Structure 1
Amino acid sequence: MAQATISETHTRDLDRDCTTLSRHVLEQLQSFGPEAQDLSALMQRIGLAAKLIARRLSHAGLVDDALGFTGEINVQGEAVKRMDVYANQVFISVFRQSGLVCRLASEEMEKPYYIPENCPIGRYTLLYDPLDGSANVDVDLNVGSIFAVRRQEFYDESHEARDLLQPGDRQIAAGYVLYGASTLLVYSLGQGVHVFVLDPSLGEFVLAQSDVQIPESGQIYSVNEGNFWQWPEGYRQYIREMHRREGYSGRYSGALVADFHRILMQGGVFLYPETVKNPAGKLRLLYEAAPMAFLAEQAGGKASDGQQPILVRQPQALHDRCPLIIGSAADVDFVEACLAESVP
């Protein structure tokens, strides 16, 4: 009996170590057909990009041109950090000769990056935020990468944005990488949310948790309260209520990936309201809000812009911004109720 128990333990450990990211995609799709093989290879490439970025971050204080700003301003009107440029170039380099994607769309690029040699066979477009929370890099705090996959519908560059201007429910996959004490990759193909950990000894992302579910409610709210007086009254009403409730904690890191991951695991809500300065909101719909909303709903949570679900919000432009309320279903509902009550 003891020997059987030891054998079962070893088998479980081996199964875990063998469930790599690419294998997991094939198991999720229950297929070895062309699309399953392509998505498996695509996720493997995202994993490679994550490894390269993680390696650069681990040496950021020791190599030239890793920290600080470039002196340039991106399409979003924001100062560009050196690690933003590096991370964006990593994704381009990883996918340029992959045969998997016809184009890449990033918040760091004004227009999609076309890869004509891939277009005859590349079935997908990858949208991504190469380094979310990059302001944290210089002080060695958590940062992340966010990605979403959509089917390529047009090869003509004159249609570069038309088929991307679709609601988030058209995404076929989404996820993020969290760079921290360990490097995590969290993704969904529309069949639950799954967490992988980079095992440096294997050089592989290995399955750590399957079918993660956000708790129905939590005791964490994550928001930059420094903007309190710029918010609509409903958000201020919500925060005042949280201040009165015992046991609630405010947690905010300045990186959407890090804050959302905490809520995915422990429950609660992340808020990024519109402000007087940014009345349309600040987060990018296609690169940040929609991918995270896809994950939240797959994990049993909710994501809203305060008036409608994020996944049904219609983008008007490639770099559209929006407010975001995301996390446990009951907590998102409560924030929405506060907003509704505050409307004259």
Structure 2
Amino acid sequence: MITLAQYLNEHSANAAVSDLITTVTEVGKTISQLLQKGALADILGEAGNQNVQGEEQKKLDVLANDMLLKALAQNPHCAGVASEELDHATPANKDGSLLILFDPLDGSSNIDINMAVGTIFSILPYQRQGHSSEDQDFLQAGSQQLAAGYLLYGTSTMLALSVNDKVVMFSLDPDSGDYLLINDHVQIAADTSEYAINASNYRYWRKPMQQYIDEVIAGETGVRGRDFNTRWVAAMVGDIHRILCRGGLFTYPFDTKYANKAGKLRLMYEANPMSLLIERAGGMATNAVTRILDIEPTDIHQRVPVVLGSKNEVDYIKQLHIQHGE
């Protein structure tokens, strides 16, 4: 079987990008081992402090963040690192040619109940070699990403990755310690009858999203003429993995629950890398109307609404928003 190292050697046009991916995935092996030990490794529970997002950090949030930050800072190709857990980006090797952003442990509320969590990463070019990187250097549209992917720590540890025009998947072999290629061309069907949404926020949504959910709940008796199923992992990485495996829709739409937040998910750490994977697998990713990968970021912790997955369903939601003038 083809290992990750072999795949990158053959399919990645950028050796520096390959090396950065290798650094992330090696740390991922350690995170996977800690999760397998669970309470035995004393990783459960709160760390006792909040991140820049105002969220309570789990112990493994902090551990994973520190491990990734340390490993990436030592990579000669890495000019800077931005983490969802830190206020500002961390400069690394000023002669490096790449920037990397990551969510060290997406879905960390799932840790204590032994459910899926993951690490999401995005790699961007660095334009100011010879100078220390700053937050501003990371403010590039998602279309500029050189590579993106995630590690899913579930019943097995899996890697979804795009370094060219397609998406591939690897599984971590616990015997050899290698990531082995299991799908060399991930594709998402254009149609789906499966969706993921936090329905408890219904009262805060805009009218077109309420209309969409009303329609899919009505099923075969409504205007859609078919039944839909709801699936919700409470970790974006788990929901996106399901979509890449069997299609579907994931959305965390605009809501009015918090006046200072346009959406829950972070553009740079979650929406952009996941949108790249979804699009290259044949899907579609928007903020309900605008293509996510075209959004020009204004802050490294910027939040956006997200609607992504099977193309025809995402486009249907877009048309509803246009009809409502949203």
Choose from 115, 133, 136 the match for 1:141.
115
> What does the per-residue CA deviation read over 1:199-252, in whole Å, with 9 as the maximum and x for residues that have no partner?
011101010001111111111100000111111111111001111124310000
Amino acid at match of 1:156: H
Amino acid at match of 2:10: E
Matches within 5 A, 1:50-65: 50-64=28-42
Choose from 303, 316, 322 the match for 2:304.
322
- In 2: Cα distance, 1:43 partner to 1:319 partner: 22
Cα distance, 1:307 vs structure 2: 2.1
Residue in 1 that maps onto 2:8: 25
Other structure's SS at 1:181 match: coil
Structure 2 residue 234 is the aligned partner of structure 1 residue 254? yes
CA contact (8 A) 2:94 2:131 kept: no
Amino acid at match of 1:235: M
- Bigger Cα displacement from structure 2, 94-103 vs 136-145: 94-103
- In 2: Cα distance, 1:249 partner to 1:319 partner: 32
- In 2: Cα distance, 1:221 partner to 1:234 partner: 16
Choose from 266, 274, 286 the match for 1:304.
286
Residue in 2 that maps onto 1:6: none
Choose from 50, 53, 57 the match for 1:80.
57
- In 2: Cα distance, 1:241 partner to 1:280 partner: 24
- In 2: Cα distance, 1:229 partner to 1:92 partner: 39
Choose from 159, 164, 167 the match for 1:185.
159
- In 2: Cα distance, 1:63 partner to 1:184 partner: 21
CA contact (8 A) 1:124 1:151 kept: yes
Cα distance, 1:162 vs structure 2: 2.1
Residue in 2 that maps onto 1:240: 214
- In 2: Cα distance, 1:148 partner to 1:129 partner: 9
CA contact (8 A) 2:17 2:147 kept: no
Query: Quick one: percent identity of the two aligned structures?
Result: 38
Structure 2 residue 91 is the aligned partner of structure 1 residue 114? yes
Cα distance, 1:153 vs structure 2: 1.6
Residue in 2 that maps onto 1:12: none
Amino acid at match of 2:169: V
CA contact (8 A) 2:77 2:97 kept: yes
Amino acid at match of 2:142: G
CA contact (8 A) 2:217 2:227 kept: no
- In 2: Cα distance, 1:325 partner to 1:276 partner: 17
- In 1: Cα distance, 2:98 partner to 2:107 partner: 26
Other structure's SS at 1:221 match: strand
Cα distance, 1:156 vs structure 2: 3.1
Cα distance, 1:343 vs structure 2: 3.0
Residue in 1 that maps onto 2:97: 123
Structure 2 residue 247 is the aligned partner of structure 1 residue 267? yes
Residue in 1 that maps onto 2:106: 132
Matches within 5 A, 1:85-234: 85-115=62-92, 118-120=93-95, 122-154=96-128, 155-157=130-132, 160-234=134-208
Amino acid at match of 1:300: G
- In 1: Cα distance, 2:98 partner to 2:76 partner: 10
Amino acid at match of 1:224: N
- Bigger Cα displacement from structure 2, 91-100 vs 101-110: 91-100
Structure 2 residue 256 is the aligned partner of structure 1 residue 276? yes
> What does the per-residue CA deviation read over 1:304-331, in whole Å, with 9 as the maximum and x for residues that have no partner?
0012100001111111000000001001
Cα distance, 1:111 vs structure 2: 0.8
CA contact (8 A) 2:218 2:227 kept: no
CA contact (8 A) 2:17 2:98 kept: no
Other structure's SS at 1:333 match: helix
- In 1: Cα distance, 2:17 partner to 2:51 partner: 30
- Bigger Cα displacement from structure 2, 278-287 vs 166-175: 278-287
Task: Give ranges in structure 1 of 5+ residues lacking alignment.
Answer: 1-15
Cα distance, 1:267 vs structure 2: 1.2
CA contact (8 A) 1:48 1:94 kept: no
Amino acid at match of 1:267: G
CA contact (8 A) 1:221 1:270 kept: yes
- In 2: Cα distance, 1:239 partner to 1:43 partner: 38
- In 2: Cα distance, 1:184 partner to 1:145 partner: 10
CA contact (8 A) 1:25 1:39 kept: no
- In 2: Cα distance, 1:250 partner to 1:338 partner: 20
- In 2: Cα distance, 1:63 partner to 1:202 partner: 23
Instruction: Please report the RMSD computed on the Cα atoms of aligned residues, expressed in angstroms.
Output: 1.4
With structure 2 as the length reference, what TM-score do the two structures score?
0.94
> What does the per-residue CA deviation read over 1:246-268, in whole Å, with 9 as the maximum and x for residues that have no partner?
43100001000100111112112
